[in-house]
């Protein structure tokens, strides 16, 4: 039986797809058979971030409508043999996803995968609520910024009340906080909410902190999940996130401002 | 850096303003979410009460508010009837405005 993980946030542009791509790649690199599904029907983008946009033949909606089999629609990643991508459809039909159809596909995938990562669209519309409905775990991606924190809290409310686990009185979805686009320097200057602040407000288990990093854009430019960039801070931070999710004790990096030597301090001034 | 901290140290930072605003907002919104839904008979009760009161006093449509509240061990039904100003109207049975009954009952297990 697979573990179903939803990557959600409410607010757009905080890093859900970047996280879904990096996290699923990380799980697969650790030897786990992983599928990642794009729930953003109408505005698919995960294929682009994963670099497989030209290999899309069938999509999620085709599978739901029985126009293709699950194995016809899954795209096997060329960098990691354990990773498969199920792209979203470009249809403009808002009702293309049904609760029953999504449930059927997830059940089918559960037979052959260990982890299923659901990349949720922004907002609280159908795609977003269905992405989280069947989840076992939720990664709540949050920026240290007021509107993102507030939206994350709203998502927590929905996770707690409108999921399969909630409706069938099972153990609730495990919720994890992933703080992205974090700038320790600005935190130190009092210009940005700190990890501790956000944790205090949302009272969630911290899965990781991804620093604001130019590597995220360069990774998406070339269709490489940022976790593959082993020289980048963001890539390393995602690596830690995956290990932590899998139960390893990993200390938090990139939370404090980088220590500069005496020379660095002298030349920075002010 | 140290010097800068010294000068900025006492000033309240925008991050702490953000934190404070969020704490208030989030606790408010969480309380709102956790509030049980209003019973569906409330609007009907309000309407029927209005009909009864109107048999005796000419009150406005919005003169009655009915609210359900809960504290730890009971449900409170609060009924507020604003009677018209006696100066403008023929004498009413009670001086206005009148704050009417408050009834409470032990909470039923649901």
Residues of A in contact with B29 (CB under 8 A): 150, 153-154, 157
What are the Cα distances from residue B3, in Å, to A187, A213, A259, A270, B7?
17, 28, 17, 7, 7
Three-state DSSP at A29 gives: helix
Say if residue A54's pLDDT is above 90.
yes
Strand A34-38 with A83-86, pairing: parallel
Comparing C-alpha atoms, which of B45, B51, B85 is closest to residue B65?
A: B45
pLDDT at B69: 77
A22-42 average pLDDT score: 96
Banded model confidence at residue A88, pLDDT cuts 50, 70, 90: very high
Residues of A in contact with B8 (CB under 8 A): 189-190
By CA distance, what is A265's nearest residue in B?
A: B1
pLDDT at A258: 72
Partner residue opposite B26 with nearest CB, options A189, A193, A201: A201
- Digit-coded pLDDT (tens) for A207-247: 999 999 999 999 999 999 999 999 999 999 999 999 999 99
Burial class (CB within 10 angstroms; exposed 0-12, middle 13-18, buried 19+) of A230: exposed
Task: Please tell me the distance from the alpha carbon of residue A221 to that of residue A173, in angstroms, as a whole number.
Answer: 34
Distance from CA of A182 to the nearest CA of B (A): 13
Quote ipTM for the complex: 0.84
Say if residue B93's pLDDT is above 60.
no
């Amino acid at each position: 039986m697979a573990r179903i993980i939803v990557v959600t946030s409410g607010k757009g542009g905080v890093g859900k797809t970047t996280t879904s791509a990096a996290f699923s790649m990380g799980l697969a690199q650790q030897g786990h058979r992983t599928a990642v599904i794009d729930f953003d029907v109408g505005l698919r983008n995960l294929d682009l971030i994963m670099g497989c946009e030209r290999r899309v033949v069938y999509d999620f909606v085709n599978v739901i409508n029985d126009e293709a089999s699950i194995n016809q629609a899954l795209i096997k990643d060329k960098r990691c043999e354990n990773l498969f991508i199920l792209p979203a459809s470009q249809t403009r039909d808002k009702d293309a996803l049904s609760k029953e159809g999504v449930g059927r596909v997830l059940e089918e995938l559960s037979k052959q995968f260990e982890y299923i990562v659901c990349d949720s669209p922004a907002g609280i519309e159908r795609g977003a609520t269905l992405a989280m409905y069947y989840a076992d775990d939720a990664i709540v991606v949050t920026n240290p910024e007021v509107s993102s924190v507030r939206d994350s809290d709203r998502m927590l409310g929905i996770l707690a009340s409108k999921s399969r686990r909630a409706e069938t009185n099972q153990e609730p979805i495990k919720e994890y906080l992933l703080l992205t686009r974090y700038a320790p320097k600005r935190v130190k200057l009092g210009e940005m909410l700190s990890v501790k602040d956000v944790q205090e407000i949302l009272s969630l288990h911290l899965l990781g902190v991804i620093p604001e990093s130019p590597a995220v854009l360069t990774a998406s430019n070339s269709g490489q999940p940022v976790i593959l960039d082993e020289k980048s801070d963001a890539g390393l931070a995602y690596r830690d996130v995956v290990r932590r999710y899998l139960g390893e004790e990993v200390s938090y990096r990139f939370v404090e401002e980088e220590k500069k030597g005496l020379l660095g301090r002298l030349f920075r001034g002010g | 850096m140290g010097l800068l901290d010294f000068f900025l140290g006492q000033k309240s930072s925008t991050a702490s303003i953000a934190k404070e605003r969020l704490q208030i907002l989030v606790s408010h919104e969480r309380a709102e979410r956790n509030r049980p839904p209003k019973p569906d008979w409330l609007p009907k009760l309000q309407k029927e009460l209005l009909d009864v009161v109107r048999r005796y006093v000419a009150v406005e449509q919005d003169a009655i508010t009915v609210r359900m509240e809960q504290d730890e061990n009971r449900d409170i039904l609060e009924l507020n009837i604003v009677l018209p100003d006696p100066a403008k109207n023929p004498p009413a049975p009670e001086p206005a405005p009148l704050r009417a009954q408050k009834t409470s009952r032990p909470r039923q297990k649901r």
